[in-house]
A and B are shown apart, each in its own frame.
Chain A
Amino acid sequence: MKSFTYERAKTPAEAASAAARIPNAKFIAGGTNLLDLMKLQIETPTHLIDVNHLALDTIETTAEGGLRIGALVRNTDLAADPRVRRDYGILARALLAGASGQLRNKATTAGNLLQRTRCPYFYDTNQPCNKRNPGSGCAAIGGFSRPHAVMGVSDACIASHPSDMAVAMRALDAVVETVKPDGSQRSIPIAELYRLPGDTPHIETTLAPGELIVAVTLPKPVGGKHTYHKVRDRASYAFALISVGAIVKEDGTGRVALGGLAPKPWRVEAADAELSSGAKAVTTKLLAGAKTTRENAFKLPLVERTLSAVLDEARR
């Protein structure tokens, strides 16, 4: 790990301002992804701003009847919150499908959204990777690409976003609240948080330098049956090959979001409209324009079959 200086931030605005002012600074919250990457020198910040003491660790009911989740709420606490378990089952299920008990105790809501890909070539510093080292090339294209993305990919990068939680947040139309270095605040719908790789895969979000996520807000509950089905190589503690999160109402309408398939949680509103027509119709819309490799083409039929199972479960 490269050396770094360390400070504890006292307010969100102060933290954002310091992050923009100090060159090569990074926020640290749970640290479960950042420290892993720092040990491998994939991330090499020279200054860490510890945001753990910013009192952003509560879940409050909003005036609209939704929930405002502090950026520092730990994954375990979010999944265990009685309101989340009752009204946002897809979110609780997605959280519990991810990582291990130890990691969920430490990982935060904002950190989960901003975690980086687990593409093996991003992790291997001996390999070219446009995300890690812009312009160096992509070893995944033409390489081992079984876990990689098939939607939203480019010739520069086929890495997938690893988060389960973000898939549920996308299905729930969550809104990310931030503080900018100048102290101003803004709200970003989660649909607009992530950027597709294009020819700049190292720029992953629409956040400005130094901009700090302070909360994630959920609209009021939409009802329906919530499911999150994750398909992976182990029964527990593995990243998704694919995952399907769905909210299905009694009349058969609802929403679907996918994980493990794209550089961001994948949802196509036009596909939601097909939900009452069945899995095939939805999948056709969701995966239109898919770009597969020989090793990850299996993901397309797997999505349809998993969605079919999810819809059967919802009707039960």
Chain B
Amino acid sequence: MRNPSEFELSRRKMLIGAAATSVTAAAPTRGSAQSADGASPAKTQVNATSKVSITVNGQVRSLDVDTRTTLLDALRENLHLTGTKKGCDHGQCGACTVMIEGRRINSCLTLAVMHEGDRVTTIEGLGTPDNLHPMQAAFVKHDGYQCGYCTPGQICSAVAVLDEISAGIPSHVSADLLAAPEATAAELRERMSGNICRCGAYSNIVDAVTEVAGRKA
């Protein structure tokens, strides 16, 4: 079998080259936001790497990463867990949603080095093709996707949403802050609003999550 890192290396080189070009183009117009502090950060070059140990899907994984590496990039580029997707890379689309200690987060907006000792669950840790997680099976059954790119994030988010409802965490649409929330369509739509689906499979996603919520109850 072909070593996956060979492909990755050549692809990364290409991306690095593209990034360098765009940086050069942007440099003359870039503002120096910190000039009031008397520092000139743009001229300072820091080469920093850090060791970090993260438990991913039950396995302890030790990494030596550039401090800039997001958890998302560590999962995809270092650990080759490409189920977690990079959409906007700015916390706006939810494609990168994973769970840390059971809580959903945007893995693009956190650094790998900040997660020493944390337990991360990705889509690969929820189920396998032969043994689907109930949420994965429900998405398949209800056709909760078209292109599938946002789906790993949708599924990780949905699993955590049902846990949040079980834990009694209210939402913007909960009429009574003190009552136990229920997995109604309105609640699911509000709670899933951080996961964008470009194909617009929302109604089928609600059906899938509703079915799993019903099984739980």
Chain A interface (Cβ < 8 Å from any Cβ of B)? 1-6, 23-24, 28, 31-32, 35-36, 39, 41-48, 50, 52, 76, 79-80, 82, 85-86, 89, 92-93, 96-97, 99-103, 105-106, 125-126, 129, 132-134, 136, 202-203, 209, 234-237
Known: A4-B67, A129-B31, A236-B190. A86 touches B178 (CB 8 A): yes
Query: Contacts of A47 on B, CB cut-off 8 Å?
Result: 46
Which of B74-82, B125-133, B167-175 participates in binding chain A? B167-175
With most chain B CB atoms within 10 A of its CB, the pick from A102, A106, A202, A235 is A102
A100 to B190, CA, bound (A): 9
Known: A39-B90, A101-B160. A203 touches B29 (CB 8 A): no
Known: A106-B110, A237-B193. A76 touches B94 (CB 8 A): no
Chain B's interface size range is 35 or more
Known: A132-B33, A202-B33. A3 touches B109 (CB 8 A): no
A95 to B114, CA, bound (A): 24
Picked from A24, A103, A136, the residue with its CB within 8 Å of the CB of B91 is A103
CB A43 to nearest CB in B, in angstroms, measures 7
Picked from B109, B157, B178, the residue with its CB within 8 Å of the CB of A101 is B157
Query: Contacts of B106 on A, CB cut-off 8 Å?
Result: 32, 102-103, 106
A2 to B41, CA, bound (A): 9
| Chain B binding surface, main DSSP class | loop
Picked from B114, B169, B189, B195, the residue with its CB within 8 Å of the CB of A31 is B114
Query: Contacts of B46 on A, CB cut-off 8 Å?
Result: 2-5, 46-47
Known: A28-B114, A89-B177, A133-B33. A36 touches B91 (CB 8 A): yes
Sorted from nearest, which 7 A-B pairs have the closest CB atoms? A100-B194, A133-B31, A236-B193, A3-B46, A44-B41, A237-B193, A24-B39
B186: nearest residue on chain A (CB-CB)? A235
Further 15 A-B residue pairs, CB within 8 A, beyond A23-B37, A23-B38, A101-B191: A3-B66, A4-B68, A6-B48, A6-B113, A35-B109, A36-B91, A36-B109, A41-B30, A42-B31, A92-B170, A93-B172, A93-B177, A100-B195, A101-B194, A126-B29
Known: A31-B110, A46-B44. A85 touches B177 (CB 8 A): yes
A92 to B37, CA, bound (A): 36
Q: Quick one: CB contact mask for B187-212 with A, threshold 8 Å, 1 for yes?
A: 00111111100000000000000000
* B31-A102 in contact (CB<8A): no
CB B135 to nearest CB in A, in angstroms, measures 15
A36 to B106, CA, bound (A): 11
Q: Does B14 contact A (CB under 8 A)?
A: no
